[in-house]
Amino acid sequence: MRIAGISALFLLATGCGVGDDGGMMMPDPNGRQCNATLTTTGTFAADTANPAPTGWATCWPVGTWTFTAKVGTTDCSPAPTPAAQYVMKGVVQPDQNGDPMAVMQFQGDTTRVIAKYSDGGSGLCEGELDIYSADGKTVWLLKPELNTDGATLSGDGEYGVFATDQYPL
């Protein structure tokens, strides 16, 4: 009984500081200095000349993805200013076996940009456009999702300013 009481007292004593940072914020391990949440909306125009291969049961993003981004909440000053619009194009290229493969391309300055797609999200297909500043310290992550109607896009994203270059090598 006495051991149980001491154990309970020990647990209470160690739990007192949980969640209490003493008014100090822990530094972001990636050196994030500020961030913003984003929403994306737009349209998808399928490339009807390149339909999904027979038996293809997953995302086939071939066509033009045109969307905008809007800033939600932010702690950045000044607040980030998205481009007037973003355009990605899903094109067909042969894979190593010569089979058709969808590839995303950004229609703009591609110096430090990653464009890709995946199955998933709440839509049929999720695009992703990662745009890095020349020094890699400012990052836009935009994730438009193709809705079940096959023509509209909606999604989210985030913006961040970092102390160090975030561009993946």
- pLDDT tens sequence for the chain (169 residues): 444 443 333 333 334 334 444 444 455 777 899 999 999 999 999 999 998 888 776 788 999 999 999 999 999 999 999 999 999 999 999 999 998 889 999 998 888 999 999 876 555 789 999 999 999 999 999 999 998 888 999 999 999 999 999 999 7
pLDDT of residue 7: 39
Q: Which residues of 110-139 are buried (b: 16+ CB within 10 A; e: fewer)?
A: eebbebebeeebebbbbbbbbbbbeeebbb
pTM: 0.79
Nearest to 44 by CA among 153, 128, 136: 153
As a whole number of angstroms, the distance between CA 80 and CA 82 comes to 6
Give the pLDDT of residue 159.
97
> Measuring CA to CA, which residue among 104, 91, 169, 102 is closest to residue 132?
169
